[in-house]
């Protein structure tokens, strides 16, 4: 039994490259000016994502700090009094500095974007 081969596609008028009216160069789209590229990328430069994620991370850290203090036995001289208090303190100590720096970065980026307009 002979192996079955696929036919090689040939270029048809639908798949052939378009030719410009001059006849020697293919038609291409005109590139956008640099100012249009900057204006198009400015609204979605990550500022909103930084502010939102930094704010939520800070809120999570504050929430767990309050839970550690008031609901999970409080914090004494040697630390929290319960195991769950220690876990909440660990989450607090991760979220507060990271959330603060993330929110600060977003705020500074927002100020820079505001100044550039």
DSSP state of 57: H
Instruction: Give the E-state strand segments of the chain in sequence order.
Output: 75-76, 79-80
Q: How many CB atoms lie within 10 A of CB 100?
A: 14
Residue closest to 65 by CA, chosen among 103, 95, 101? 95
User: Is 11:74 a contact under the CB 8 Å cutoff?
Assistant: no
Higher pLDDT pick, 26 / 82: 82
- For the segment 42-100, what is each residue's pLDDT rounded down to a tens digit? 567 889 999 999 999 999 999 999 999 999 888 889 989 899 999 999 999 999 999 99
Q: pTM for the complete prediction?
A: 0.59
- For the segment 28-50, what is each residue's pLDDT rounded down to a tens digit? 667 666 655 555 555 678 899 99
Say how far apart CA 109 and CA 115 lie, in whole Å. Answer: 10
């Amino acid at each position: 039994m002979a192996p079955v081969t696929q036919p090689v596609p040939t270029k048809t008028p639908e798949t052939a490259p378009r030719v410009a009216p001059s006849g020697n160069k293919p038609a291409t789209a005109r590139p956008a000016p640099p100012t249009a590229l900057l204006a198009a990328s400015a609204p979605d430069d990550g500022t909103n994502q930084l502010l939102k994620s930094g704010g939520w991370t800070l809120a999570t850290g504050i929430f767990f700090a309050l839970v550690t203090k008031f609901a999970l036995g409080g914090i004494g001289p040697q630390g929290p009094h319960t195991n769950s208090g220690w876990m909440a303190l660990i989450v607090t100590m991760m979220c507060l500095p990271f959330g603060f720096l993330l929110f600060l970065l977003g705020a500074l980026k927002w100020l820079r974007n505001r100044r550039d307009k």
